[in-house]
Amino acid sequence: MKFIGSTNEYLHLVTVDQHNCHVLKETIENGLTILWFEKENNHLFIDGKRFDFEKNQIVFLTEFHKVKVGRVEDVRLLRFNKPFYCILDHDNEVGCKGILFFGASQLPIITIPAEEVEKFETVWKMFAIEMDSNDNLQIEMLQMMLKRYLILCTRLFKSQKQNDVKLFESDIIREFNFLVEQHFKTKHTVTEYADLLHKSPKTLSNIFSKIGKKTPLKFIQERKMLEARRLLKYSDLQIQEVAYELGYEDVQAFSRFFKNQEGQSPSKFKEA
């Protein structure tokens, strides 16, 4: 089921199995994807790493994730683009920026408890009903269903990730994560992000220290490394071009950074 609006709004709902699993690898500009696994024993390779998914787990992907299908059994895919619903503009409504999407440090995965499955099923059924509608209220109803879906997911994430809940409940940390996602190719220091947040670098570091997680610099480095691995693995760019893409004018500086993080040079990584 697809909805395509008059100004490029896009919403796609489909159940994916081995016969149409190519859909999982598709991307759209400014697109976000939610995968709900309905059965056991699924695995995908996301950015080259294997992830195993069980029944009623949900994972959240952006257009920048590279997906390769291993095994899938009835996965409900929901994909939408920014013109249909911009989570950045509506963050006060759904609160998922830096949590479900655009977080710099991890792949968000949640599990629907048995007592919550009916809620998700109801929203999905409402999606299907509205997809068959054909009036001037259709897009508003579909956006309403999407908002409800995102809120359910955000609540579950916060309730299940007890070890990370302080991290994601902090508005400053969420804004930092999002800013890193926007600027990691051009801004590489904590000071630059602290300036954007109107905080001192020491204040920003202290916030991370209280949470007991990675340092802000580590977040920046991990995001750069994620992009570096993607470009080296999935593109035809030369190492010099990858370095330039990530904001390094000196390829040697990029190579030193990559080797310090990965344990091998960019050329060895690309060859492997």
Identify whether residues 62 and 86 lie together within a single domain: yes
Task: Count how many domains the chain has.
Answer: 2
Identify whether residues 148 and 33 lie together within a single domain: yes
User: Which DSSP helix (H) or strand (E) runs through 232?
Assistant: helix 216-234
Cβ neighbours, 10 Å, residue 72:
22
Residue 167 has pLDDT above 80, yes or no: no
Identify whether residues 152 and 257 lie together within a single domain: no
Longest dimension (CA), the chain: 59
Strands 109-111 and 42-46: unpaired
Identify whether residues 206 and 89 lie together within a single domain: no
Identify whether residues 176 and 213 lie together within a single domain: yes
68 Cβ neighbours under 8 A, 6+ residues apart:
25, 44, 45, 46
Establish how many alpha carbons lie within 13 A of residue 255's alpha carbon, considering only the half-sphere containing its beta carbon.
Answer: 12
Sheet holding 49-53, edge to edge: 49-53, 42-46, 67-71
Are 34 and 77 in contact by the 8 Å Cβ rule? The answer is: yes
Q: Which of 161, 194, 227 is the last residue of a domain?
A: 161
Identify whether residues 135 and 178 lie together within a single domain: no
Give me the pLDDT at residue 171, please.
64
Helix 216-234 crosses helix 201-211 at what angle (to 10 degrees)? 90
Confidence of residue 118 (pLDDT cuts 50, 70, 90): very high
Print the domain residue range for 190.
Answer: 167-271
Identify whether residues 21 and 125 lie together within a single domain: yes
Are 229 and 47 in contact by the 8 Å Cβ rule? The answer is: yes
CA distance 38 to 59: 12
Question: Can you list the alpha helix ranges (DSSP code H) found in 89-215?
Answer: 91-94, 117-131, 138-160, 165-169, 171-183, 190-196, 201-211
User: Which DSSP helix (H) or strand (E) runs through 49?
Assistant: strand 49-53
pLDDT digits 0-9 by tens, 126-147? 998 998 887 788 899 999 999 9
Identify whether residues 35 and 103 lie together within a single domain: yes
Q: Which of 161, 196, 212 is the last residue of a domain?
A: 161
Identify whether residues 83 and 176 lie together within a single domain: no
User: Which DSSP helix (H) or strand (E) runs through 244?
Assistant: helix 239-245
Q: Read off the pLDDT of each residue in 199-225 and give the average, rounded to a whole number.
A: 84
Identify whether residues 14 and 139 lie together within a single domain: yes
Residue 74: CATH number of its domain: 2.60.120.280
Q: Which of 161, 188, 215 is the last residue of a domain?
A: 161
Identify whether residues 228 and 126 lie together within a single domain: no
Establish how many alpha carbons lie within 13 A of residue 260's alpha carbon, considering only the half-sphere containing its beta carbon.
Answer: 10
pLDDT digits 0-9 by tens, 47-61? 888 999 999 999 999
Q: Is the pTM of this model over 0.85?
A: no
Are 3 and 10 in contact by the 8 Å Cβ rule? The answer is: yes
Residue 203: CATH number of its domain: 1.10.10.60
Are 34 and 152 in contact by the 8 Å Cβ rule? The answer is: no
Identify whether residues 94 and 157 lie together within a single domain: yes
